[in-house]
Amino acid sequence: MALSTTPSQMSVALPTRIDGSSRSMIKVQSISFTDKSWGPPLLRLDSKSRSLGVKKRSTICMSLQQASKSKVLVTPLELEDPKETPLNLFRPKEPYTATIVSVERIVGPQAPGETCHIVIDHDGNVPYWEGQSYGVIPPGENPKKPGAPHNVRLYSIASTRYGDSFDGKTASLCVRRAIYYDPETGKEDPSKAGVCSNFLCNAKPGDKVKITGPSGKVMLLPEDDPKATHIMIATGTGVAPYRGYLRRMFMENVPNFKFDGLAWLFLGVANSDSLLYDEEFAGYRKDYPENFRYDKALSREEKNKKGGKMYVQDKIEEYSDEIFKLLDNGAHIYFCGLKGMMPGIQDTLKRVAEERGESWEQKLTQLRKNKQWHVEVY
């Protein structure tokens, strides 16, 4: 949670404990820093976090007026050591039982549907890297296999390896509640609600959740070149892995990764209330204008140049010349979200390539060969 000041900022992580009290506010005393003071702001905690009956970890990120920016220290640094990507440490037959720390709705009232940010305590036993996924096994029986558990559902992890509390013991998921509507009545049909997404969005602090993984190597963030360009394209909850990337690049003090390249995020959602982690991303754009660009496509609020709805592929087309030049110079490009996003994006890129006198098929083959092309859609 950021409390803004002017003119320049520094992020400080203050670990806190939530004592189970019924009060929803923690009052922060006035803080004096280099002869400048501010206070006493009130920090609101999610009501579901207040009743947590297990060991809790919460971090409040504040903005203090300061001459230069500072990043959040992370621990344990041993998480930087492994040379091999952590993969499938826990499998469906023997999942890890983790604990829900908090569930927070992160979209506004006018957003179609509900999306939640869910923090899970794995106590450091299921380490992962940015861009990987956890599997979740919801409770209950598989209706297609009586007596057997539900199938695993994969969710991209929306935090860095250090988690939202920066201690390497939690992971965050960005989950949209799956609901279904009767095509005849137009009303919601609760009997067909998404089993796993609704389990997660309905979860309470202290609830147990069975997780598998981590899995996936396609979306891992290449860190061998700290000056590299990363073009990130997402629809909806597909922004999850990019939140992890960006926190690692701009929020955390990671000794062996000092990012000084360009990160460019394109996010497509329905409207302003549907934007996910918007304040966090806007903060990076303000603090690191040379290193971070952020473009949004709001399909129900904006029009493309042809007068139609503005989708993420239309926003890409606006910057197509620049994007192609960056790709020619070795930029990585990532796609994450609903698989329905890819045909429109591919058509746009193909059209732009042809207008430039290039063969998109040849270019795509070269991007894949150079490991610049990263796709994870569902």
* Active site members: 155-156, 336, 376, 378
As a whole number of angstroms, the distance between CA 124 and CA 128 comes to 10
User: From the CB of residue 5, how many other CB atoms can be counted at a distance below 10 Å?
Assistant: 15
Asked if residue 219 lies in contact with residue 152, where contact means CB atoms within 8 angstroms, the answer is: no
Nearest to 54 by CA among 175, 173, 170, 200: 170
* DSSP letter (8 states) at residue 6: S
Q: Is 24 annotated as a binding residue?
A: no
Residue 73, beta-bridge partner list: 253
Alpha-carbon span 368 to 374, nearest angstrom:
8
128 and 86 in contact (C-beta within 8 Å)? yes
Rg (CA), the chain: 21
SS3 277: coil
**Under 8 Å between Cβ of 45 and 18:** yes
Residue 299 marked ligand-binding: yes
Handedness of CA 12, 17, 23, 24 (dihedral sign): positive
Backbone angles phi, psi at 232, to 5 degrees: -115, 125
The three-class DSSP label of residue 216 is coil
Using an 8 Å Cβ cutoff, are 136 and 209 in contact?
yes
Would you call 71 helix, strand, or coil by DSSP?
coil
CA of 119: how far to CAs of 108, 115, 186, in Å? 19, 13, 33
322 annotated ligand binder: no
Query: Roughly how many angstroms between the first and final C-alpha of the chain, as a whole number?
Result: 30
> 237 among the known binding-site residues?
yes
Q: 305: part of which helix (H) or strand (E)?
A: none
Distance CA 35, CA 76 (A): 32
Tell me if 293 is assigned to a ligand binding site: no
Cβ atoms of 209 and 344 within 8 Å: the answer is no
Does residue 51 have a known ligand-binding role? no
300 is in an annotated binding site: yes
Going by the annotation, the residues of the binding site for NADP(+) are: 156, 176, 237, 299-300, 309, 337-338, 376
Enumerate the known binding-site residues. 156, 176, 237, 299-300, 309, 337-338, 376
